Structure 1
Amino acid sequence: MDHEEFTVGINLSPRDRSLAVLFSGEGKPYPAHKIGPAVHGYYLMHTVLSGEGVFECGGQSLICREGDTFIIFPGVLFSYEASASQPWHYIWTAFQGEAAHDVMEDMGLTPRHPVIHKTSIRGLVSLYRRIRRCFEDSSEPRLQDLEASGWLRLLLHRLGKEGKRIPLGRDDLSDIDRQVEQAIRWITLQYHQPITIEGMAQSLGYHRAHLSKAFKQKTGRSPKQYLMQVRLEQAKTLLEGTLTVEQVASAVGFKDALYFSKLFRRWAGLSPTEYRGQNRIQR
């Protein structure tokens, strides 16, 4: 367990195409606990309630403390790490939807300017927790989705009205950051296809060796390793549904289900079937 305290509520029926909450939670990670480098396919917003940590996005680092809110954007490389001496306590919500991009821009938030500074956390905590509590009773998931999206809109309104945006200090990503970000987005969108690193580099207009070196410098992994990570993470999500192991393997880009199962066991410590069984028990 990476957190001293951890609670989360998950939306079992995210139907609002405009702005839907996916999950919301609260946690106190242990000192120096780090997440990433990684990329998500949705927006993930954290507000720091106490302590501090470092949020990395767009090639730069920002120290976030009480009252600061940082946004992870879909398809954008990020990482964040709790302070070793004063680990943060934060609260979060993940969302997606057709209106999300415009809402972020209206609030002055972009991958280059991803932090809102010094808001009053009292009102924010109440809104975050109302979102999470929407999912405590699963008897009416569609109504819970509707309620959660309403509380999310109020939360974003409050953040946009009260917060002060912190610019990263420059408007343009470096060439190497841009190259890696493009490769990350390519992998995130095309992971289910038979990708080759050479083909990806060629499509993006970069030399394979150059892109591979830049990618490893920024993420600590080769493009091939990162692709495998994305595929296996997606497989975990799909295994929670009703697809067969063979269908899951095909859906994330593996032609050979046995090879997929072998890699999944090595990565997760469980076979796909064992992972599915354990996950269902936990549910």
Structure 2
Amino acid sequence: MNPEHYEFMVGFNPQPEERELTVLFSGEGRPIPGHKMGPSVHDYYLIHTVLTGEGHFQSGSLSQTCRAGDTFVIFPGSLFSYQADSSNPWHYAWVALQGEDVQQLFAEVGIIRGRPLQQAANVAELHHLYERIRLSFKQSAYPRLENLEASGWLRLLLCQLGLANAASLPEHSVLLPDVIELQIDQAIRWLSLQFHQQISIDQLASTLGYHRAHLSKVFKQRTGLSPKQYLLKVRMDKAQALLNGPLTIDQVATSVGYNDALYFSRHFRKWCGMSPSEFRSSLR
């Protein structure tokens, strides 16, 4: 037991990886009244969420009392200090992380250096996620899997913080792109990933809540192509790549969404000015 805490639990990542996002350690504690950390700096990111009680957080020119539901974030290289209240000391959970993508992920959920304090409505859900991160580190024979599990729970934690920001910040529209933009992005991803399926543009429009003509209009404004033209481009680009490999013409056709090889060949010739066989020969 940590003598400065009534309760103190922590789990350390046995094999943190230097990559886009990794958890270093995660814990939970109930410090004694007046317990203080800092002033100091860290070389990693550290997120704290107050579960009960209150305390005081200071970073740079920011100085604020934090209560249940508040989250404060310490950035690498930032001078900070925080202290438990003398009469109602806080109970908090924390997670330390590092990685090349952390700053971008933080920005996407509304966490920036100029605003290191957040508010969250669902304290119980956040508490659960912190606990799952900490319990990921079982000190088993599979440290890489523990690291992977902890990173997954961390992303869910960041999602919860992002949802709280989107609901509470006046400028939340900056965090959430325009609905139409999101739907067009979804349509692009759908066509780019499901090109091998028999795709109906009418069904795609209906799924997104648009008339086909309107979908085609906003899609073309974004991409320069109609959905049908975009799907054809994706299929033909993929076919050209596959023709540079060992697959037969029939296999290439079915791989890009054509059950009829002759029908595929007609589309391919119209697209690039030669048949699939002639295109393959030209590559050799």
Please indicate the TM-score interval, normalised by the length of the shorter structure: 0.5 to 0.7
Aligned to 1:24: 26
Segments ≥4 residues shifted beyond 3 Å: 163-167
Could you state the TM-score of these two structures normalised by the residue count of structure 2? 0.57
| Structure-1 separation of matches of 2:38 and 2:83 | 9
Shift in Å, 1:111:
2.1
Aligned mate of 2:135, from 129, 133, 136: 133
- Counterpart residue identity of residue 35, structure 1: M
**2:71·2:118 contact (CA, 8 Å) conserved in 1?**
yes
Question: Structure 1 pair 67/9, CA: closer, same or farther in 2 (3 Å)?
Answer: same
- Retained in 1: the 8 A contact 2:46–2:74? yes
Q: Based on CA coordinates, which of the two structures has the bigger radius of gyration?
A: 2
Structure 1 residues 1-283: aligned runs within 5 Å: 1-15=3-17, 17-163=19-165, 164=168
Letter in 2 for 1:63: T
Which of structures 1 and 2 has the larger relative contact order (alpha carbons within 8 angstroms, sep 6+)? 1
TM-score, length of structure 1 as denominator length: 0.57
Q: What CA distance in whole angstroms lies between the structure 2 residues aligned with 1:138 and 1:78?
A: 34
Q: Contact conserved, 1:117 with 1:166, CA < 8 A, in 2?
A: no
RMSD in angstroms over aligned alpha carbons?
A: 1.6
Instruction: Note the residue ranges of structure 2 that are not aligned, 5 or more in a row.
Output: 172-284
- Gap change, CA 1:165 and 1:140, over 3 Å in 2: farther
**Is this contact kept in 1: 2:21–2:97, CA < 8 A?**
yes
Partner Cα separation in structure 1 for residue 125 and residue 170 of structure 2:
21
1:16–1:149 Cα contact (<8 Å) kept: no
The alpha-carbon distance between structure 1 residues 151 and 118, as it changes in their structure 2 partners (threshold 3 A), is closer
CA distance in 2, matches of 1:150, 1:16: 16
Question: For this pair of structures, how many residues does the alignment match?
Answer: 167
Q: Which runs of 5+ in 1 are unaligned?
A: 168-283
Residues in 2 aligned to 1:16 and 1:154: alpha-carbon distance in whole angstroms: 20
More moved, 13-22 vs 44-53: 13-22
User: Which digits, 9 at most, give the CA deviation of each residue in 1:88-109, with x for residues without a partner?
Assistant: 0000100000110111112222
With over 3 angstroms needed to count, the CA separation of the structure-2 counterparts of 1:126 and 1:166, relative to structure 1, is farther
Whole-Å separation in 2 of the counterparts to 1:29 and 1:120: 22
Counterpart residue identity of residue 27, structure 2: G
Query: Sequence identity of aligned pairs in percent?
Result: 53
Q: Measure how far apart 1:61 and its partner are.
A: 0.6
- 1:166 Cα deviation after fit: 10
Structure 1 SS opposite 2:144: helix
Separation in 2 of the partners of 1:55 and 1:116?
12
